[in-house]
Amino acid sequence: MYTVTVYAKPLGGIAGCTRVYPDILQAVDKVFRNAKGSVLHDFVVTHIGDRVVSLLVSDGDVEEVIKEAYAVGEEIAEKRKLFKNPAAETSVSLTFEERESEAFVLFLAGSSNNGFWNGLIPKGENQAASAASLMLCRTEGEFCTTAELLETFADESVSARGIAPVSLCDSSIVRTKVTPVVALGFSLGNGMLTGPLDLFDTPLFDAPRFRASQQ
């Protein structure tokens, strides 16, 4: 039985809440790397806008190591006097017996709206969890395929909400009426992660991106 926990918190942004400072990501990553093999089975540190996002695989409590890692990041942000976004921290988690082939997708949104994922989150039992800027979805097997899940974000009704499926490198917060969404794909085997794949980093989502940008 493994728990996949995703935690997101703005620590310090460049040019407001546009994008996280890279040194902060590296510092948070270092703390988790030191905990790998004890508290953590595996982890990935990423971002959306100015939020530092950590995906942690464990079979125990990860609260203390998260607190330690983000405190280091906050110290860097304070020294450089980076913008402190007042948005609250966000976390989601799923606990499950690992399947023979365990696939899941982590969605990151440049939004702090708790209702952002309404109409987008799958409803299968123990398939998905969401909160504000985060959505974690298991795929394949008894669940929908990864492609079926991503297809949702190509729908015109989603584009009409200003939701733009973008690559991680294009996830800066630069529009008020357009919300970037990133999709990162993973496989999990024996508690170890393979990935992420930057799933929206393809011209197949150019049309939805363009429609969303017209809002």
Q: Which class for 63: exposed (0-12), middle (13-18), buried (19 or more C-beta within 10 A)? A: exposed
Average pLDDT over residues 152-169: 96
**Which among 128, 151, 144 has a CA at the least distance from the CA of 202?**
151
β-partners of residue 120 are none
Query: 85-140: per-residue pLDDT in tens?
Result: 888 899 999 999 999 999 999 999 998 888 899 888 887 777 899 998 999 999 99
pTM: 0.95
Of the candidate ranges 1-10, 79-88, 195-204, the one whose mean pLDDT is the lowest:
79-88
Q: DSSP readout, 106-121?
A: EEEES---TTTTTTTS
Query: 61-88: per-residue pLDDT in tens?
Result: 999 999 999 999 999 999 999 998 888 8
Query: 11-68: per-residue pLDDT in tens?
Result: 999 999 999 999 999 999 999 999 999 999 999 999 999 999 999 999 989 999 999 9
Strands (E) in 49-133, as ranges, are: 51-58, 90-96, 102-109, 128-131
Q: Which H or E element spans position 213?
A: helix 206-213
Q: Cα 189–185–18 angle (5° rounding)?
A: 135
Say what the pLDDT of residue 112 is. Answer: 81
Helix (H, G, I), strand (E, B) or coil at 194: strand
Report domain extents, the chain: 2-213
Average pLDDT over residues 156-171: 96
